[in-house]
Chain A
């Protein structure tokens, strides 16, 4: 009898181990999928973040960003679908170790110790990201332990799902910047208040009256021409007051101020605050007594009547 109990116990323990492995596999798959999809909503920003580490230049970062995102989505799909679990789990753990290496490099170059301009707003420091990634590596190891001896989901379906998932995610990443998903991705939408946008108290006078707010990248080569068009609108008169907000540094803003001579106010706003309002710049919106009444996406000012006094 004792022998039977032991065997039952072993079998139950084995079943638990497999279940733990499956849960860990699916959790890790969901993490990769979520991470990939969230990045896919704004791949240009992810490319900028890669370039900020200084390991690769902006050109290579622009190429690496969609590939990384697709890789993450593909790993997520493969893990959830149970396709070759040992290979996908090991690849996932390796990718995470790679991320940990990058974050460690970020710490070594003093990225956490830059001015509060960085530290005061970004909630997840490289140190925190390392801890998170270590946790996910642990999850991968748990899944490998739990699923040892499991060969994965049988049949052609997992491979087909992986192929379709990879193709779809790559297509989405490439198309994402051009898709009209800004209202879903950004905080900027009609009816939102300046508090909702994180701009309350940041720009003097913006809460009263009617203003056309231009979100500008003053370092963009087209910013001077756009400034000239906004200057024309100011000189023409009759429209709302124009205020430009830029995520650029004080130095870049000053350089624009002297060279483009804007006839409108321009305020540098912390990038993490402003980034929540756009995926690509420029972007425009009308704010009336502290509330957004119109949002303009697409070619700046072309064919739009936002600057006319009748627009609402």
Chain B
């Protein structure tokens, strides 16, 4: 019959003592793994029907966990798609990481507040701290319609801000744009619901902002989804693609900028200005 209690062999006993000594000397950290969160500008956060500027959606290195930071809430929110729960993460467990990232301590204590969320197609919705929150693709956000000032557009769209930050304009093109001395006008027709505009517009906005040339007058016009059916300033010019950038001199259309994916607006625009000299 096998004894219920066995005594370790001398060798095994030595290994156990060694392991205990190591544990005493270097206690195992109680800290759980950290989630490295990087902002994902493909999604936006709606809180009680508004889109607060500081609210951001983050990817983590664990593909099925996402983090939501709403400045007006007491805690951050960790969305676990496997657990189908949204966990409240105390602010003490969240710290900045680099330029725009966050580090979130993943090991949540028992009894952590958790919220249920529901999925409605591309939208996730839940209630946290008495706030109605929806996470949705940024292209689904109510669009900017009509004329809008450049600064207002940039302030309103975090995805454009992020794209502007990432873009490095060509210095030669920028020098030409900033030194141009005759009045010229750009009419920009774009849509905040259009994925191509999400790529192109931040580049153009960065170029125009950096050029800081009062001779270049810019008019930005946001298009609604059914712009062919709705009346507005977009009806007069023949718009075949979005975005459309019309270059005008003395109220006369000279040409249009190419807005395809690889377009480099500062170089093309500088070339047009060079030809106009």
Residues of B within 8 A of A117 (CB): 194-196
- The contact string, 1 if C-beta is below 8 Å from chain A, for chain B 135-146, is 011111000000
Q: Taking the nearest CB of chain B, how far is it from the CB of A163, in angstroms?
A: 45
Is B228 touching A113 in the complex (CB atoms < 8 A)? yes
A58 CA / B232 CA spacing, docked (Å): 34
Q: Taking the nearest CB of chain A, how far is it from the CB of B275, in angstroms?
A: 24
Query: Number of residues in B with C-beta < 8 Å to the partner?
Result: 34
Closest residue of chain A to B193 (Cβ to Cβ) is A115
User: Given the interface contacts A119-B242, A258-B81, does A264 sit within 8 Å of B139 by beta carbon?
Assistant: no
Is B64 touching A125 in the complex (CB atoms < 8 A)? no
- The residue that A251 contacts in the complex, of B63, B121, B239, B261, with Cβ under 8 A, is B121
Q: Tell me, yes or no, whether B74 is within 8 Å of chain A by CB.
A: no
Q: Taking the nearest CB of chain A, how far is it from the CB of B61, in angstroms?
A: 11
User: Given the interface contacts A116-B241, A116-B259, A261-B82, does A252 sit within 8 Å of B122 by beta carbon?
Assistant: yes
A118 CA / B194 CA spacing, docked (Å): 10
Residues of A within 8 A of B64 (CB): 261-263
A250 CA / B195 CA spacing, docked (Å): 8
Residues of A within 8 A of B254 (CB): none
Q: Tell me, yes or no, whether A259 is within 8 Å of chain B by CB.
A: yes
- The contact string, 1 if C-beta is below 8 Å from chain A, for chain B 229-252, is 100000000011111000000000
Is B122 touching A251 in the complex (CB atoms < 8 A)? yes
Residues of B within 8 A of A118 (CB): 241
- The contact string, 1 if C-beta is below 8 Å from chain B, for chain A 17-58, is 000000000000000000000000000000000000000000
- The contact string, 1 if C-beta is below 8 Å from chain A, for chain B 159-203, is 000000000000000000000000000000001011111001000
- The residue that A264 contacts in the complex, of B63, B123, B261, with Cβ under 8 A, is B63
Is B43 touching A254 in the complex (CB atoms < 8 A)? yes
Q: Taking the nearest CB of chain A, how far is it from the CB of B235, in angstroms?
A: 11
Residues of B within 8 A of A268 (CB): 195
Is A120 touching B195 in the complex (CB atoms < 8 A)? no
- The residue that A116 contacts in the complex, of B123, B138, B194, with Cβ under 8 A, is B194
Q: Tell me, yes or no, whether A195 is within 8 Å of chain B by CB.
A: no
Q: Taking the nearest CB of chain A, how far is it from the CB of B231, in angstroms?
A: 14
Q: Tell me, yes or no, whether B227 is within 8 Å of chain A by CB.
A: yes
Q: Tell me, yes or no, whether A181 is within 8 Å of chain B by CB.
A: no
Is A259 touching B195 in the complex (CB atoms < 8 A)? no
Closest residue of chain B to A264 (Cβ to Cβ) is B63
Closest residue of chain A to B198 (Cβ to Cβ) is A250
Q: Tell me, yes or no, whether A110 is within 8 Å of chain B by CB.
A: yes
Residues of A within 8 A of B43 (CB): 254
A116 CA / B200 CA spacing, docked (Å): 10
Closest residue of chain A to B229 (Cβ to Cβ) is A110
User: Given the interface contacts A251-B140, A254-B137, does A120 sit within 8 Å of B63 by beta carbon?
Assistant: no
A255 CA / B124 CA spacing, docked (Å): 9
Residues of B within 8 A of A251 (CB): 121-122, 137, 139-140
Is B240 touching A125 in the complex (CB atoms < 8 A)? yes
Q: Taking the nearest CB of chain B, how far is it from the CB of A250, in angstroms?
A: 4
Q: Taking the nearest CB of chain B, how far is it from the CB of A50, in angstroms?
A: 22
A254 CA / B121 CA spacing, docked (Å): 8
Residues of A within 8 A of B138 (CB): 250
Closest residue of chain B to A250 (Cβ to Cβ) is B137
User: Given the interface contacts A254-B137, A258-B119, does A116 sit within 8 Å of B242 by beta carbon?
Assistant: yes
User: Given the interface contacts A116-B194, A120-B196, A265-B63, does A255 sit within 8 Å of B260 by beta carbon?
Assistant: no
Q: Tell me, yes or no, whether A112 is within 8 Å of chain B by CB.
A: yes
Is B240 touching A119 in the complex (CB atoms < 8 A)? yes
- The residue that A110 contacts in the complex, of B140, B228, B260, with Cβ under 8 A, is B228
Q: Tell me, yes or no, whether B268 is within 8 Å of chain A by CB.
A: no
Residues of B within 8 A of A116 (CB): 194, 196-197, 200, 241-243, 259-260
Residues of A within 8 A of B139 (CB): 250-251
Is A120 touching B261 in the complex (CB atoms < 8 A)? yes
Is B259 touching A120 in the complex (CB atoms < 8 A)? yes
Q: Tell me, yes or no, whether B129 is within 8 Å of chain A by CB.
A: no
Within 8 A of A (CB), among B73-96: 81-82
Is A120 touching B260 in the complex (CB atoms < 8 A)? yes
- The contact string, 1 if C-beta is below 8 Å from chain A, for chain B 9-36, is 0000000000000000000000000000
User: Given the interface contacts A120-B260, A254-B137, does A115 sit within 8 Å of B63 by beta carbon?
Assistant: no
Which B residues contact A (CB, under 8 angstroms)? 42-43, 63-64, 81-82, 119, 121-124, 136-140, 191, 193-197, 200, 227-229, 239-243, 259-261
16 residue pairs bridging A and B, Cβ less than 8 Å apart: A110-B228, A113-B228, A113-B240, A115-B241, A116-B194, A116-B241, A116-B243, A117-B195, A119-B241, A119-B242, A120-B259, A250-B122, A254-B121, A258-B81, A261-B81, A263-B63
Pairs A-B, 3 closest by C-beta atoms: A119-B241, A254-B122, A110-B228
